Amino acid sequence: MDRLPTMIFKRLAFGVLTLVIISLIVFWGVEALPGDLAQTILGQAATEENTAALRAKLGLDQPAYVRYLDWLENVLTGNLGESLASGRPISELLSARLGNTFFLAGVSAVLAVPLALFLGVVSVLYRDRWVDKFISISTLSAISFPEFFIAYILILWFSVEYQIFPSFSRISPDMTLWSKLNAVALPALTLTLISVAHMMRLTRAAILNVISAPYIEMALLKGLSPWRIVVRHALPNALSPVINVIVMNLAFMIVGSVVIEVVFVYPGLGQLLVDAVSNRDVPVVQASVLIFASAYVSLNLLADVLSIVTNPKLRNPK
C-alpha cells in the first residue's frame, strides 16, 4: 500500500492536466465557430453601437488568451458566470440539472451492477451451454443497437402499447421518490441494457481467468457446489477488473446519457447542454462540458485506485 499515495498523486496531477487540456479544446473550439456571438444574440436589433457595447460587456473585445485566462480564473473561484439565454447564474442552472443526472445514473447503476454480476456468474456456471449462449447473444444484441433505438423501442412497448411508464421523464423536487422512480424508469432501463453487456462479459472473462487456478481445483476435489466455488472463491479474486469496468460504466452513465436525456426530455445536464448549444449559450456549454470532463476524470481515478486496492499483485509488484 506504500505506492498508493504516490499513485493517487500522479493520477490527480494527470487528471488536472487533462482538464486543462479539455478546457483549452472547449474554449478554442467555441472560438472557431463562425459568426459573431454578439450579433447572433442581438439578432435584428444588432446595430453597430449595440454590438460594440455587447462585445465589451461579454469581453469579446479582449484577445482570446486573455478571455481564456479570465474564464479559467473564474472557474477556479467558483464563478461560472451567467447564462446568455436566461440571465440566470450558471451555477444555479447546473445544480438542479446535475442532481437529476446523478439520480438517473444512480438508479441505472442499482439496476445494472447486480444484474451484470448475476448474469456473469450464471454464464460461467453454464459455460458453453444454451444458457450461456442465450445470455451472450442477448447482451451483444443490446450493445449493438444505438441508444436512441433502444429508447424508442422501450417507449413503443411500455408507453404506447401497454402505457406502464411515461414517455416523457419529467421530475421536480416536490415529487415523491416513487414518482421519480416511475418517471425515470424508461431512461434508467435504457442505460441498464446498454451497460449490462460490458460488465457481464468482463465479469465472465475475469472469472474464467481464475477458475483454472489450483485453489479452484482443490475446492472441486473437496466436493463444493459449483455455485459456491464461483461466488465464494472465484469471484472475489476476479473483482479487480470487474470493479474497474463497473466504475467506467458509471462514468458512461453520467457522461454518455446526453442522447437518452434528449429522447426522454429528461431535465438533466445533458438536456441542458443540448439546449445551450441550440441557443448558442457559450458560457453554459463551456461549464457543462467541463463538469462532464471532471466527472469522467474523477471516476477514472477512482477506478485506478480500486484496481490497486483489490489486486495484491498491483499493491505489491515485487
Final residue before a domain boundary, out of 42, 76, 110: 76
Q: What global pTM score does this model have?
A: 0.81
Show the DSSP H helices in the chain as ranges: 3-31, 37-42, 48-58, 64-76, 90-125, 130-144, 147-155, 177-183, 185-210, 214-221, 226-228, 235-237, 239-255, 258-263, 269-278, 282-309, 312-315
Judgement on whether residues 31 and 95 belong to the same structural domain of the protein = no
| Closest of 311, 140, 143 to residue 241, by C-alpha | 311
Residues 6+ apart with CB under 8 A from 44: none
- pLDDT tens by residue, 32-67: 766 666 666 666 666 666 677 766 766 666 777 787
Judgement on whether residues 72 and 179 belong to the same structural domain of the protein = no
Q: Kindly state whether residue 82 falls inside one of the protein's structural domains.
A: no
User: Which region holds residue 34: left if phi is over 0, alpha if psi is between -120 and 50, else beta?
Assistant: beta
Q: How far apart, in whole angstroms, are the C-alpha atoms of residue 184 and residue 170?
A: 8
Q: Kindly state whether residue 83 falls inside one of the protein's structural domains.
A: no
| Closest of 112, 297, 126, 265 to residue 207, by C-alpha | 126
State the DSSP H helix or E strand holding residue 34, giving kind and residue range, or none if neither.
Answer: none
Range of the domain at 310: 91-315
DSSP letters spanning 223-287:
T--HHHIIIIIIHHHTHHHHHHHHHHHHHHHHHTTHHHHHHTT--SHHHHHHHHHHTT-HHHHHH
Final residue before a domain boundary, out of 45, 76, 107: 76
Q: Kindly state whether residue 291 falls inside one of the protein's structural domains.
A: yes
Judgement on whether residues 161 and 99 belong to the same structural domain of the protein = yes
Rounded (5°) CA angle 296-236-191: 35
Judgement on whether residues 216 and 71 belong to the same structural domain of the protein = no
- pLDDT tens by residue, 182-211: 889 999 999 888 888 888 888 888 887 777
Final residue before a domain boundary, out of 20, 46, 76: 76
Q: How far apart, in whole angstroms, are the C-alpha atoms of residue 290 and residue 292?
A: 5
The CATH code of the domain that includes 299 is 1.10.3720.10
Q: Kindly state whether residue 159 falls inside one of the protein's structural domains.
A: yes
Output the pLDDT for position 38. 65
280 close to 224: Cβ distance less than 8 angstroms: no
Output the pLDDT for position 36. 62
- 249 pLDDT tier (thresholds 50, 70, 90): confident
Q: How far apart, in whole angstroms, are the C-alpha atoms of residue 284 and residue 94?
A: 9
Structurally, the chain folds into a number of domains equal to 2
Q: Please give the grid coordinates belonging to residue 42.
A: 442581438
Spell out a b/e string for 253-287, using b for 16 or more CB atoms within 10 Å of the CB, else e. Answer: bbbbbbebbbbbebbbbbbbbbbbeebbbbbbbbb
Judgement on whether residues 72 and 103 belong to the same structural domain of the protein = no
Judgement on whether residues 123 and 232 belong to the same structural domain of the protein = yes
Q: How far apart, in whole angstroms, are the C-alpha atoms of residue 83 and residue 75?
A: 14
Judgement on whether residues 61 and 190 belong to the same structural domain of the protein = no
Judgement on whether residues 201 and 310 belong to the same structural domain of the protein = yes
Cβ neighbour number for residue 146 with a 10 Å cutoff: 10
Q: How far apart, in whole angstroms, are the C-alpha atoms of residue 150 and residue 153?
A: 5
304 close to 7: Cβ distance less than 8 angstroms: yes
Q: Kindly state whether residue 110 falls inside one of the protein's structural domains.
A: yes
- pLDDT tens by residue, 138-155: 888 877 888 888 888 999
Q: Kindly state whether residue 268 falls inside one of the protein's structural domains.
A: yes
- pLDDT tens by residue, 264-295: 988 888 888 888 887 777 888 888 888 888 88
Judgement on whether residues 110 and 221 belong to the same structural domain of the protein = yes
- 261 pLDDT tier (thresholds 50, 70, 90): confident
Q: How far apart, in whole angstroms, are the C-alpha atoms of residue 219 and residue 138?
A: 31
Give φ, ψ of 23 to 5 degrees. Answer: -60, -40
Judgement on whether residues 142 and 188 belong to the same structural domain of the protein = yes
Q: Kindly state whether residue 81 falls inside one of the protein's structural domains.
A: no
Considering only the C-alpha atoms of the chain, give the largest distance between any 2 of them, rounded to a whole number of Å.
88
Q: Kindly state whether residue 183 falls inside one of the protein's structural domains.
A: yes
Average pLDDT over residues 291-314: 76
Tell me what the pLDDT averaged over the chain comes to: 80
Judgement on whether residues 31 and 125 belong to the same structural domain of the protein = no
- 2 pLDDT tier (thresholds 50, 70, 90): low
